[in-house]
Amino acid sequence: MINKINAIPERIALLLGIGLILFGSLFLFLFDLMIPLPIWLKIWIEGAICFIAILFILSAADKRHRSQKKD
């Protein structure tokens, strides 16, 4: 899975990570208004979304630092 994340270009990975954090939380909030979810389920879902988003953001940061070291 890490290899697939590393294959994504730097800017797209950063936008995906930030978008997941912003829109994932918003989507979960709106979904919870329609269908009430238990608090433990919301915590697990948000934790999974944030974990994947952090992987994308760290991948983009790693690519940026690797490209700056080559210069």
Structure tokens at 2: 């890490």
Summarised one tens digit per residue, pLDDT across range 16-71 is 999 999 999 999 999 999 999 899 999 999 999 999 999 999 999 988 888 777 76
Instruction: Measure the CA–CA gap between 12 and 60, rounded to whole angstroms.
Output: 8
Q: Is residue 2's pLDDT more than 90?
A: no
The alpha-carbon radius of gyration of the chain (Å, integer) is 15
| Exposed/middle/buried for residue 66 (C-beta within 10 Å: 0-12, 13-18, 19+) | exposed
- In the prediction, which pLDDT does 32 show? 92
Q: What is the pLDDT of residue 35?
A: 92
pTM for this prediction: 0.82
Q: Check pLDDT > 70 for residue 1.
A: yes
Q: Is 61 helix (H, G, I), strand (E, B) or coil?
A: helix
Residue type, 56: F
